[in-house]
Structure 1
Amino acid sequence: MKLPEFSVKRKVTASMITMILVIVGFIAFSRLGLDFFPDLEFPTVSIITIYRGASPEDIEKTITKPIEQIVSSIVRVKKVSSISAEGASVVTVEFEWGTNLDFAAQDIRDQISLYRNQLPEGANDPLVFKFNLGQMPVIFYGITAQRPTAELKKLIEDEVAPRLERLDGVASARVFSTDIREIQVNVDKAALESRNLSLDRIIAALRMENLNLPAGYVLERQSDYLVRTLAEFESLDDIRKTVIGQTPRGELIYLSDVAEVVDGLKETRYLGRIQKEKGVFLIVNKRSGANTAQVGDRVKKELEKIIPTLPSDVKFFAAMDQADMIKRVIHRTFDTAWQGALLAIILIFLFLRDWRPTLTIALAIPLSIITTFIALYAAGYTINLLTLGGLTLGVGMLVDNAIVVIENTFRHIEMGKAAASAAIVGASEVGMAITASTLTTIIVFLPVVFSTGITAKLTQGLALSVAFSLIASLFVALSIVPLLSSLFFRSQGGNPRPVKKQFEGPRRLYRRLLTSVLRHRARVLTAALLLFLVSVGLIPIIGTEFMPSGDRRMILLKVKMPVGTALEETDRVVAMIEDLMIRQPEVQMVSSQVGSASEEDPTDLASGFAATGPHEAIIWVGLVPKEKRKRLDVMILEDIRKKLPRLENVKIEAIDMSQMFLGTQSPVEIKIFGKEIPVLKEIADNIVKQIQDIRGLRDITHTFSAGRPEYQIYIDRERAARLGLTVNQVASTLQTATLGRVATRYRQGGEEVDVRVWFKDKYRKNLRQVLTTPLVTPLNKTITLDQVIDLKRGEGPIQIIRENQARKVSVTANVFGRDIGSVTKEIKSRLASLERSLPPGYFIEYGGQYEQMQDAFKTLAVAFVLAVILVYMVMASQFESFLHPFVIMFTIPLGLIGVVFGLLIAGKTINLPVWIGFILLAGIAVNNGIVMIDYINQLWRRGIMEKREAIIEGAVTRLRPVLLTALTTILGLLPMALSRTTGSEMRSPLAITVLSGLTATTFLTLFIIPSIYSLVERVSFKDVK
């Protein structure tokens, strides 16, 4: 018993199966997570090592290079890149896609653990972590108050963060501030010298005097008693009373004799502001697999309860709210879906003029979507921009199979059959055809699903949601639609149906046009070929980019000033930019970070856009929702660029937030490789000069900063050895004198605070005083630092960037008003002569979004070719012919004509969504040809008519289902194509591609496919009138 027959004859069973699918579908939908993107885990692992005060060259030599050599030997490593900056090393290891990152990260930890003992003294243990989009903050708040920042930080840490961390799905609620509590031992250099003591002596004493140690147990009166030594500092006075030595007369020397002990704030080289006020930042992260939207809602609801209990001066500003953004995107996508479905249903009613078949077809949409939710839940997917985009894309196609079944059922009713019989025969007759057409649409995604790389990760969810929905629609068309048809439809009863009469006019017109085209098929096919060649020639005009830039409701700016600029001067310029930003009507919130915060949040270094020193700053600009403003973020940014005053030696660079989610930042990146940094800088400067006048380029800069002034201290090993001093003793004393050294930790009320030993400001910030720092030899003789060192003045790089163990300088730029492909092509043309004249050992590569685009397009081009081959194979299996599928394949180049003109009219570029749309079009375009050729073959093989008559009659008979299925898909995609709401940047190009391609291939198929079919079958129409 076939499925249509089973559904019609076993109505109750079929109805119960339908109800089960609906109930399970709603349960699956309620449990599906909401995210912006799928949970992308980029195959990268970062190793961050903090070595406070070390120069970039020292970092490169002692930390970065050894780690690079260690990780390069690990299997499946694709690329190793690194940044050696002041006080920090970041090594990023990129693996092949598909690598198990948990195992890879553990391999790296194991390898680095062997190297840990070779790290310089004072360097922190390397931090190894992997990144995925799920680690992005769910909510990022700026908090201000009319009180000291340290006090505000403690308030948020005590009253807010713990309550948020108890919420279901919340992994952490971290509080960041520029003011960090620290117990500071400010040593008086003169007092230290007079008592013949050293800084090392103070540090050793503090470490030895601040401890709690277990001492076993004793037995007393048949009971065991634990014994513990409790000697930790309980107050600042305990620290002050620490004995650090004795006078020659045996008198004790206390710490308070040579130093001030204060409860102060850690000396930081950065400032943070929210709405031009000092404050703290609260960053909330979710657990892996948690529903982003639900976690965000829980956090906001909890904050609504917490905020009234806080002091009235505490104010919260949302700098980033992923949950709100996700819900906006999802709601807007749902809107385009139901709008498309409504348009498709209205069209069906206008065609059929009967509520019964219209209702039957309309029910196919929700039933197919609900069934799709079951498959998405079982496959472990979430509802995100891509999976929901796939469902929206499929809304118009979901009714195609139902339309073909209903139309054929109608035809049998018009022939006088009973409704139940017509439902069974009508569905069974077209069952193979709609199964084949569904398979051709689904199978085009097979190469994409089984490909690798970020392209596959971004498209798999969309592809599978389309596939699941179409499989569901096929099941609904062959089971539920026949069931509803048998219940709703009425037999003909001898009265001619109005639909048949109304559609006779278009059929007669089409018959005349088709007959005329077949008589002049050579001219028509030549014209079609010329049109195809013209469209191919227009492709370079369209332009290319990796992904369309999305409006992220946030502008991220990086301010760069000359190296060596004081923090206060950088802050003055940033305040000026903040004033301009706040005056923009679309701006909701402005926060800034001046200087580097890498010591407080080392993972920030791995992002690649963090400020590297006091001469740099990051400004976050939060915008009102896209629907509430007239300008896109890129337009606002361009306006700000024009309004900013021309400041000498100040560079302001915009960072594309929408592309950061895809693992890249700069649209344009020119990578220069070589050995010597001065040569790399010279080449980079030449490149900047040659490309700076290219139209569309903005924010041109390179990653090499001017040399930072520095004093270089060389230790005289021989003199130090004669005095019994090691290089390490001399270097660590110098480090303690200026940067200070954490001697121990002070515990108070559950809080642990660093105890830092250093000289008073008047000593440690004066070079002459630093050079006369006392050193005590093993013979208890006091000397000064300048007796064992030589001092030179020089310059050092602010950071050293390497890739695959070679030094690199990158020239980067943003693009405005042009596509990346054409801009990069012009850049390559400009730099051709420079590349040929590079010194031996130096070469140029192109990275950034262009590199990603090239990789993605190659992957998708191969996927498209394989998709076309698979479509042909499916059709060959259905027709048991090699020739007829070949005829139908001509619908694909016909679709290209529509795509090219559609993109040109809409002003879109060729990007990843467009490629996906064209691959999908390869599966859709052949469907009308399948239905038409299949019916022509049926008429001819049954002996009803000759081939010539069968071609015309088959095409004319299938006109109604061909137009109806195509137009419902086109109208279903129309709201998606015209959408300008949040998230439409990804959906719109995809919809325009399918819509314009399908429009062209539908109307051209009506004439071109019969013409080619008649040509290969050698059927002449010259004598037909």
Structure 2
Amino acid sequence: MSGEREDRESTQEEGRLSGISAPFIRRPIATTLLVVAIALAGGLAFRLLPVSPLPQVEFPTLHVSANLPGASPETMASAVATPLERQFGRIAGITEMTSSSSLGSTNITLQFDLNRDMNPSDAPIMLLALTSDLVQKPKIYDVASSVLQQKISQVEGVGEIIVGGGALPAVRVEVNPTQLNGYGLSLEDVRTALAASNANRPKGELSSVNRLWSLSTSDQLHKAVEYQPLVIKYRNGAGVRLSDVATVTDSVEDVRSGGLANGKPAVLLIIFRQPGANVIATVDRIRAVLPQLQASISPAIDTQVVMDSTVTIRASVHDVEITLIISILLVILVVFAFLRDARSTFIPSVAVPVSLIGTFGVMYLLGFSIDNLSLMALTVATGFVVDDAIVVVENITRYLEQGMRPVEAALRGAREIGFTVLTISISLVAVFIPILLMGGIVGRLFREFAIVLSVAIGVSMVISLTATPMM
């Protein structure tokens, strides 16, 4: 009878001690696997998260460019910009529309509200300069646009590549109106002669009874010297050649485009990343293929990196990461200084890193990035996440000092403090609700900060109610 009474009392005691943490305390292997799974998921997500200086908070913007060669700014504004603005004004979600007109071109900028998902582009991540003391600049531009631009575009994470600082090779014909009028010709006559002489058409074939010969040759002209003897029309039994009425020179398509790198004429490759791509990993991939790209072009062309946006990003993110590690170590040392027990200090030293690492997994699911604000949120959260572990450990230690068995002390201490830990976590998260409800560019900027901090507190609460009492 005495044994049955003790068993009944033990069963009733365990029933009173059951709570949220009880299943995890009674199943230490499953709880350990849960902690390991959270740490592995966070560690894997950390390697997959994109890296950027700040969260993606730019206003969705769309740039439209229209060209009408030779038109004055007034004509571009009235005949091109105004009709486009009227059509664009019908698009929903536009908050601002601006336009500027210049000689032969109009640029219109459409800015949408923050709820519009358009994957706004970032600033360039890298700038490459191609210089040479032997190769002419048009040839360098041709190499940049036909070889380097194509190969770098195939690198993972690379979005758009703009080739600037020059133009493709071209032949420029500057007609003398006085001489042209003297021969009784017009500009249309010159244009027609140039188009007819540069056409690449089939030439036909020659055949006999047993054989067939195909005629193959190119009518395309590439140099100024090849254009000069072209006959435009015949006047008074003599042919009027292009060199008689115009100056023909080897030049480029756009003579008003230029670039310099370290004081030398250069062709520039402006590289942008894809939306959401890891900027550091993308730049590393580009640098890895640069030796191969240099070997595929003329050795007389020098390729150099003149701008790398990841230098400051790497430095700032590295500083915040070091600060985060130091804060974790300081928290553990403070806990040890007050508890004076190695086992009690070991528990927060596991709970804090796992809580922070597990936050990376939620960040990956939410589409966040590793930036200064998200890392700062984790640094601030270090002081919050350790509170839950300390509260649970202190309450369980109190029962251990009274001589209670470890399992019974863990069950009783976790049951008594579980609601308190839940209340503390909810109250801390509630502090950041106003930040989550903020609108505009500032609210979007700090929303990631508030969510990361709240997620870290939530993961800490889960660890404190499961793994902490089990340990």
Q: What corresponds to 2:74 in structure 1?
A: 57
AA in 2 matched with 1:334: E
Tell whether 2:21 aligns with 1:34. Answer: no
Match of 2:382? 395
Q: Does residue 1:265 correspond to 2:252, yes or no?
A: yes
What displacement does 1:256 show? 3.9
Alpha carbons 1:183, 1:264 under 8 Å: kept: yes
State the AA in 1 paired with 2:448: G
Distance of 2:215 and 2:124 partners within structure 1: 43
Give, in angstroms, the shift of residue 91 of structure 1. 1.9
- Cα separation, partners in 2 of 1:313 and 1:387, compared to 1, 3 Å: same
**For residue 275 of structure 1, what is the aligned residue in structure 2?**
262
Match of residue 183, structure 2, among 188, 195, 214: 195
Normalised TM-score (structure 2): 0.84
2:128 is aligned to 141
Residue 312 of structure 2 is aligned to residue 295 of structure 1: no
Q: Give the aligned residue type for 1:97.
A: L
Change (3 A) 1:213 1:152: closer
Residues 664-689 of structure 1 deviation map (CA, whole Å, 9 limit, x = unaligned): xxxxxxxxxxxxxxxxxxxxxxxxxx
Paired position in structure 2 for 1:326: 313
Q: Does 1:185 align with 2:173?
A: yes
Deviation, 1:43, is 2.5
- 1:132 is aligned to 121
* Partner AA of 2:349 in structure 1: A
Percentage identity across paired residues of the two chains? 26
What whole-Å deviation, never above 9, does each CA across 1:352-403 have from its counterpart, x for those lacking one?
1111111101111111122112111122222222222221221221111111
Counterpart code for 2:264: E
The answer to whether the 8 A contact 1:164-1:299 is kept is yes
Tell me which residue corresponds to 1:204: 192
Equivalent residues in 2 for 1:168-567, closer than 5 Å: 168-178=156-166, 180-212=168-200, 232-236=219-223, 239-240=227-228, 242-249=230-237, 251-266=238-253, 268-269=255-256, 271-307=258-294, 314-484=301-471
Residue 349 of structure 1: how far off its partner (Å): 0.8
> What is the aligned partner in structure 1 of residue 19 from structure 2?
2
SS of alignment partner, residue 466 of structure 1: helix
In structure 1, give the amino acid aligned to 2:27: R
1:81 aligns with 2:98: yes
Mapped to 1, the partners of 2:293 and 2:90 lie a distance apart of 51
Q: What's the offset of the Cα at 1:239?
A: 4.0
One-letter identity of the residue aligned with 1:132: S
**Which residue identity does 1:167 align to in structure 2?**
V
- What secondary structure does 1:94 align onto? strand
In the alignment, the residues of structure 1 paired with residue 85 and residue 255 of structure 2 have an alpha-carbon distance, to the nearest angstrom, of: 29
Gaps of 5+ in 1: 102-129, 216-226, 485-1025
Cα 1:232–1:468 change in 2 (3 A) is: farther
In the aligned structure 2, how far is the partner of 1:143 from the partner of 1:267?
A: 18
Tell me the distance in 2 between the aligned counterparts of 1:84 and 1:97. 27
Partner of 1:132: helix, strand, or coil? coil
1:20 is aligned to 2:50: no
Report the counterpart of residue 644 of structure 1 in structure 2: none
Contact 1:272 1:278 in 2 (8 A): yes
- Whether the 8 Å CA contact 1:144–1:277 is kept in 2: the answer is yes
Q: Which structure would you say has the larger RCO, counting Cα contacts within 8 Å and 6 or more residues apart?
A: 2
Report if aligned partners of 2:124, 2:309 keep a CA contact under 8 Å in 1.
yes
**1:213/1:229 contact within 8 Å kept:** no
Find the counterpart in structure 2 of residue 48 from structure 1: 65
Is the counterpart of residue 163 in structure 1 residue 180 in structure 2?
A: no
Tell whether the 8 Å contact from 2:328 to 2:353 is kept in structure 1 after alignment. no
1:153 and 1:254 mapped to 2: Cα distance?
31
- Name the CA shift for 1:231/1:145 in 2 (closer, same or farther; >3 Å): closer
**How do 1:807-846 residues align onto structure 2 when only pairs under 5 Å count?**
none
Deviation for aligned residue 1:141: 2.6
The 5 A counterparts of 1:843-858 are none
Alignment deviations for residues 880-906 of structure 1 (CA, whole Å, 9 cap, x no partner) = xxxxxxxxxxxxxxxxxxxxxxxxxxx
After superposition, the CA RMSD in angstroms is 3.0
Q: 1:482 to 1:322 in 2, by over 3 A?
A: same
Q: Over residues 313-372 of structure 1, what are the superposed CA-to-partner deviations in whole Å (9 max), with x where a residue is unaligned?
A: 655553321233322222111100011111111111111111111110111111112211
Counterpart residue identity of residue 151, structure 1: K
User: Separation in 2 of the partners of 1:214 and 1:5?
Assistant: 87
User: Which SS does the other structure have where 2:21 is aligned?
Assistant: helix
> What are the Cα deviations for residues 891-941 of structure 1, in whole angstroms up to 9, with x where unaligned?
xxxxxxxxxxxxxxxxxxxxxxxxxxxxxxxxxxxxxxxxxxxxxxxxxxx
- Number of equivalenced pairs: 442
- Work out whether 1:154 is the aligned partner of 2:171: no
Deviation at 1:444, TM superposition (A): 3.4
- Which residues in structure 2 correspond to 1:742-891 (within 5 Å)? none
Q: SS of the residue aligned with 1:42?
A: coil
Q: What SS does the aligned partner of 1:35 have?
A: coil
Aligned-partner SS, 1:79 = strand
Distance in 2 between the 1:359 and 1:259 partners? 87
- Partner SS, residue 417 of structure 1: coil
CA drift at 1:296: 0.2
- Aligned partner of 1:66 in structure 2 is 83
The residue number in structure 1 matching 2:211 is none
- Deviation, structure 1 residue 197: 0.3
Distance 2:278 2:389 in 1: 35
Equivalent-residue separation in structure 2 for 1:359 and 1:407 (angstroms): 13
The Cα of 1:100 is off from its aligned counterpart by: 4.4
The 1-side partners of 2:439 and 2:85 are apart by 26
- The AA in structure 2 aligned to 1:372 is T
Contact 1:233 1:239 in 2 (8 A): no
AA paired with 2:154? R
After superposition, the C-alpha distances for 1:675-711 in whole angstroms (9 at most, x for unaligned) are xxxxxxxxxxxxxxxxxxxxxxxxxxxxxxxxxxxxx
CA distance in 2, matches of 1:76, 1:483: 53
Measured against aligned partners, the alpha-carbon deviations of 1:535-570 in whole angstroms (never above 9, x if no partner) come to xxxxxxxxxxxxxxxxxxxxxxxxxxxxxxxxxxxx
Paired with 1:143 and 1:199, the residues of 2 have a C-alpha distance of: 38
The two structures have a TM-score, normalised by structure 1, of: 0.40
Partners in 1 of 2:52 and 2:344 — Cα distance?
37
Q: CA deviation at 1:463?
A: 1.6
Distance in 1 (CA, whole Å) between partners of 2:177 and 2:301 is 42
CA contact (8 A) 1:386 1:462 kept: yes
Maintained 8 Å contact 1:97/1:452: no
Gaps of 5+ in 2: 1-17, 204-213
Q: Distance in 2 between matches of 1:421 and 1:96?
A: 57
Aligned partners of 1:308, 1:356: CA distance in 2, in Å?
A: 59
Asked if the contact 2:164–2:258 (Cα under 8 Å) also holds between the matched residues in 1, the reply is no
